[in-house]
Structure 1
């Protein structure tokens, strides 16, 4: 056991400077996993291997194998067969990346993590962590790491729409849902399914350096500068997980220029102010004031993309009397200025239904 831990630490140190021994990376897959996550991981790490020698490094930095719990092929979320190289307990690994069932329903995630096969997989992950391996996952797969207890006491992230369920089930984990990738010494987690690209690039950066990671991103045409999930969050989706918060959200949305009065809002939805605050945090991760701020900015984003109204007009419509304050808040939350956000030219069909412009009446 001690030798295995030492080997993992040494491999990380050598590979972080383009050392000679490939890092052993096991991709552990389960039924109903997203095939795209496996593919992009293999493509990113494979591209890093191809480009390494051009930067003066070894020809192979990462040696990847795909494994399932029992060594049998698994079915992806769309039913395609994924072949594997063997069972999870075959051979030691420096890095274990887990790919659990992928879905868009937090309730189903909680059902899946309680399945006996996942419980057994958790034991494997615990052992891998104890042996010195670095563990990684994105989206709903982060729940598998949390079930194994390897995230306890440290920071982690998950997909923004799974954050309320994750926070409630794993209070010992310090959830940082705004971040796209969160790393500690022995774990790396990422947001929604395609944030697996960011997770894989993080591994390249961590073990082979920023120069190679940037080169890989450029060859694959990936934005390796993004770091936040904030611009992707749909606050209404989070609010819908709690009937009281849903009712409060509708009241707030009806007049975004109305100053927040938590006591009055609590009376309108039939709870105490303290209960309202607690349920907002449980459902969305935000207290009422922060939720209203995010709601205003999300509606403003829809208006910027679906209308030609002046920015000052939109700011006033969502409750900002000071246009400069609106610009500062928008840039902070959306990682872009209102002007650049509008110029990005997203189509109206990309917007959530509640912020699309209504067709003119006949």
Structure 2
């Protein structure tokens, strides 16, 4: 069988722990004997009275497939819990977290043993994977250096500081880099679980599982769900520019307007924007306009053209292009997906 370890570390999201466990157990149940003939499966069949397995696979209890996944919940939240040293897993999952106490506290004995265990499992061929803040635990192994990785978009700046050599792509819901797979949002553990099913077995089983769960197994981007929230800082000149842009973004704004407001040179203003916001003034203005457009697309019945003018774009085609580049969807597609149905 394919051995999966789901790590229950301190503050790990419980719904993800048990949801992932049940996802793989469901995958065991829906597999028909004809679906994966090339897999070398264990000999112990599912229980004959497993109604879910029979109904989902369309098979009778006599020909129900043998289980594919052997799932273990590994308790790393307790000092006294036994650890799986000596076992080798095919894939290890680090779920999201509701707090940063553990994954940022790189001093505890429990933290250090988990770190060493992940490195050793990776050396022995295990796929290491994470969802949301679980990426910080992967980052601590240094295995993310010079590799593409995603996490929740609100944590991306913190992860960049924590692991500066990683190539963080926070617009992605999921990045499969073969032996390292990372997923973005708090609920992206579902995307991660489906991807592991596909990688460890075959895409057809993943699609069947998606239908059973009634979830979309198609391509998504985390950019669809991002909300533009500027970093907090104490630079009064940059804050003055931010307030000005927020109030006047529907009108033409030039960098010269901001230098006049702050009495700074253009070079100094650009440097301070990059330092505190990781954006140029022009990028900040565009992000503010796109966020305002998103709010209007979700909450109003205004046409796409009217919204473009209302948020500061005189050229509708330029607005559509900028929106698509930032959000990964056209304005119309965004409205269709996220607009209020009230």
Instruction: Give me the TM-score of the superposition, normalised by structure 1.
Output: 0.76
Is the 2:10–2:102 Cα contact (8 Å) retained in structure 1? Answer: no
The alpha-carbon distance between structure 1 residues 248 and 323, as it changes in their structure 2 partners (threshold 3 A), is same
- Residues 132-178 of structure 1 show CA distances to partners (whole Å, capped at 9, x for unaligned) of 21111111111011011111121111110001111122111111111
Q: For residue 312 of structure 2, what is the aligned residue in structure 1?
A: 319
Q: C-alpha separation between the residues in 2 aligned to 1:132 and 1:121?
A: 17
Q: Which 10-residue stretch deviates more, 292-301 or 171-180?
A: 292-301
Task: Check the 8 A contact 1:235/1:284 in 2, yes or no.
Answer: no
- Aligned partners of 2:96 and 2:186 also within 8 Å: no
Change (3 A) 1:348 1:71: same
1:28–1:88 contact (8 Å) kept in structure 2: no
1:200-243 residue CA offsets vs partner (Å, 9 max, x unmatched)? 1111121222222112112111122243111111112xx13334
Report the Cα distance in structure 2 between the residues aligned to 1:310 and 1:277, rounded to whole angstroms.
Answer: 35
Determine if the alignment matches structure 1 residue 96 to structure 2 residue 126: no
Q: Which residue of 2 aligns with 1:50?
A: 29
Judge conservation of contact 1:32–1:101 (CA < 8 Å) in 2: yes
1:40 maps to 19
> Partners in 2 of 1:348 and 1:270 — Cα distance?
47
CA contact (8 A) 2:9 2:77 kept: no
Give the Å deviation of 1:30: 1.0
Quote the residue 1:202 is aligned against: 195
Matches of 1:114 and 1:348 in 2, distance apart?
Answer: 49
Displacement after TM superposition at 1:347 (Å) = 3.6
Match of 1:164 in 2: 157
Question: Is this contact kept in 2: 1:306–1:348, CA < 8 A?
Answer: no
Give 2:146's match in structure 1, choosing from 153, 156, 160.
153
Provide the residue aligned with 1:63 in structure 2: 70
User: 2: CA distance between counterparts of 1:264 and 1:95?
Assistant: 54
Unaligned runs of 5+ in 1: 1-21, 74-83, 350-362
Q: Which moved more, 1:162-171 or 1:243-252?
A: 243-252
1:241 equivalent to 2:220? Answer no
Change (3 A) 1:100 1:202: closer
1:354 is matched with which residue? none
Q: CA deviation at 1:111?
A: 4.3
Residue 172 of structure 2 corresponds to residue 179 of structure 1: yes
Work out which of the two has the higher radius of gyration on C-alpha atoms and give 1 or 2. Answer: 2
The answer as to whether partners of 1:155 and 1:174 remain within 8 angstroms in 2 is yes
Deviation, structure 1 residue 261: 3.5
How many residues align? The count is: 312
TM, length-normalised to structure 2:
0.80
Structure 1 residues 223-242: aligned runs within 5 Å: 223-236=216-229, 239-242=230-233
Match of 1:25 in 2: 4
Distance 1:215 1:279 in 2: 51
> Do 2:102 and 2:111's aligned partners in 1 also have CA atoms closer than 8 Å?
no
User: How far is 1:189 from its partner?
Assistant: 0.8
Distance 2:23 2:195 in 1: 10
What residue in structure 2 maps to residue 212 of structure 1?
A: 205
Match of 1:123 among 96, 116, 122: 116
Equivalent residue runs for 1:293-332 within 5 Å: 293-332=286-325
Contact 2:13 / 2:97 at 8 angstroms: preserved in 1?
Answer: yes
The 8 Å contact of residues 3 and 91 in structure 2, kept in 1 or not, is answered as: yes
**Unmatched runs of 5 consecutive residues or more in structure 2:** 42-65
